[in-house]
């Protein structure tokens, strides 16, 4: 059910999440996130995630109305022209379309593995802080069939506004475990028969083409600057590098992940 509200004052208490988008830790504590942009909001409405409210110009409300009416929860739509919405949010928006969704209960690793097709294909990130990089990696996961993303406690959240936007809504279809102790989790996966493979630019043992991704595996990626922490690296079975031209020692983590995921997907599709 939809409840439409024409915005007459920017001080409505219900608009507080949109006024405080730069205070994302507060939103995380409330269990909510912001979806930004026409496609991301559309994919949120198409997902199983709970939608709290929309903030948008009237023309976009008309576009979304069939999707909104097909949902079971009560959704409040706050409508105004884009210029007024930008005064509320404090920054320029290309389309002026925003939504508030609820972060779902965190899934259980055992339940994820039980539901996943075999062989399982997971990814893990250690120390990743840039929201755009996290979002891009989530999008790569969805593109190449990764079944779950394990986010270490030293990482930023994939539900930050810029991460959700960079994922282009892929976060709505990828099981994510946040804030975990990565090293013991990787050791647990190894005990279950997984091979944990660290993407490491200075690996002196295997290159990407020499690695085997066909069994249950988890690919591990590190931070933008320091890479994978020694503790997490020690919890992996092996390190694997992408061969590169002399003088280039590493790739952006999103680019590196896409290369690894593609090779893993290619090998697994041949089975």
pLDDT over 70 at 203, yes or no:
no
138-194 pLDDT, tens digit per residue, is: 999 999 999 999 999 999 999 999 999 999 999 999 999 999 999 999 999 999 999
Q: Delimit the domains of the chain by residue range.
A: 2-102, 109-269
Q: What is the pLDDT of residues 16-30, one digit of tens each?
A: 888 876 667 778 888
Mean pLDDT within 196-220: 89
How many Cβ atoms sit within 10 Å of the Cβ of residue 238? 14
- pLDDT of residue 271 exceeding 80: no
pLDDT at residue 132 above 70?
yes
Same fold, 2-102 and 109-269: no
| Residue 2 near residue 65, CB atoms below 8 Å | yes
Q: d(Cα 69, Cα 54) in Å, to the nearest integer? A: 13
Question: For residue range 238-258, what is the model confidence (pLDDT) as tens digits?
Answer: 999 998 888 887 788 999 999
pLDDT above 70 covers a percentage of the chain that reads 96
- Mind spelling out the 3-state secondary structure of the chain? CEEEEECCCCCCHHHHHHHCCCCHHHHHHHCEEEEECHHHHHHHHHCCCCEEEEEECHHHHHHHHHHHHCCCCCEEEEECCHHHHHHHHCCCCCCCCEEEEECCCCCCHHHHHHHCCCCCEEEEECCCCCHHHHHHHHHHHHHCCCCEEEEECCCCCCCCHHHHHHCCCHHHHCCEEEEECHHHHHHHHHHCCCEEEEECCCCCCEEHHHCCCCCCEEEEECECCCECCHHHHHCCCEEEECCCCCCCCCCCHHHHHHHHHHHHHHHHHCC
Query: Is 267:145 a contact under the CB 8 Å cutoff?
Result: no
Q: Which of 194-198, 205-209, 240-244 has the lowest mean pLDDT?
A: 205-209
Q: Give the angle subtended at the CA of 75 by the CAs of 46 and 157, to the nearest 5°.
A: 60
| pLDDT number for residue 3 | 94
Q: Which of 80-89, 189-198, 217-226 has the lowest mean pLDDT?
A: 80-89
- Confidence class for position 40, pLDDT limits 50, 70, 90: very high
109-269 homologous superfamily: SPOUT methyltransferase, trefoil knot domain (3.40.1280.10)
CATH number of the 2-102 domain: 3.30.1330.30
């Amino acid at each position: 059910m939809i409840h439409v509200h024409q915005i007459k004052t920017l001080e409505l208490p219900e608009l507080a999440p949109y006024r405080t988008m730069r205070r994302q830790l507060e939103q995380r504590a409330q269990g909510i996130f912001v979806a930004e942009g026409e496609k991301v909001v559309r994919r949120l409405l198409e997902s199983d995630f709970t939608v709290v409210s929309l903030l948008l110009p009237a023309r976009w409300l008309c576009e979304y109305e069939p999707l909104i009416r097909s949902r079971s929860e009560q959704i409040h739509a706050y409508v105004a022209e884009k210029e007024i919405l930008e005064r509320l949010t404090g920054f320029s928006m290309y389309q002026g379309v925003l939504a508030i969704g609820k972060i779902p209960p965190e899934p259980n690793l055992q339940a994820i593995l039980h539901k996943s097709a075999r062989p399982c294909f997971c990814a893990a990130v250690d120390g990743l802080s840039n929201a755009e990089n996290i979002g891009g990696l989530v999008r790569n996961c969805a593109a190449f069939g990764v079944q779950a993303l394990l986010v270490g406690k030293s990482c930023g959240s994939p539900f930050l506004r810029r991460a959700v936007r960079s994922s282009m809504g892929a976060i709505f279809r990828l099981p994510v475990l946040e804030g975990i102790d990565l090293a013991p989790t990787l050791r647990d996966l190894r005990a279950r028969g997984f091979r944990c493979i660290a993407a490491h630019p200075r690996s002196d043992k295997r290159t990407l083409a020499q690695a085997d991704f066909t069994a249950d595996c988890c690919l591990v990626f590190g931070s933008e600057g320091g890479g994978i922490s020694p503790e997490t690296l020690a919890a992996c079975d092996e390190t694997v590098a992408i061969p590169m031209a002399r003088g280039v020692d590493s790739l952006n983590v999103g680019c590196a992940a896409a290369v690894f995921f593609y090779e893993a997907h290619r090998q697994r599709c041949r089975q």
